[in-house]
A = this chain, B = another copy of it.
């Protein structure tokens, strides 16, 4: 699965895309492992109903891990902050499938966290009954 991010930093709701993959698999109950093979992006789960939750999240992450802060890796690639954020927020979730859909709470969506966009990002899934 391919996601094109459009901003330098953003959260992209991928819940519907994952549910479409589950539907295509025909599995109604099981586990799905979702993985992004990138070291400057991550997966998070949170509310996307009030989009300000995402704004607040990204602002706080930037407060704690500023884009530039004398990072050594910036001399090579200028994206050290994105690497650090990717380690904080991780590239993997294993989630439950119930009734052919992702088990999430009312206020939870699955989002790709882009920390070094815009970029073309892949998502790799594996489903097991």
Contacts and interface: CB of A to CB of B under 8 A. Distances in A.
Interface of A is mostly: mixed
B56 A73 contact: yes
A92 B46 CA distance: 12
Contacts of A37: 103-106, 108
A35 B80 contact: no
For the complex formed by this chain, how many copies does it contain in all?
3
Interface of A: 30-31, 33, 35-40, 44-47, 50, 52-53, 55-57, 60, 64-65, 69, 71-73, 75-77, 80, 83-84, 86-96, 103-108, 122, 124, 126, 128
A103 B124 contact: yes
Given A56-B71, A65-B60, A90 B35 contact: no
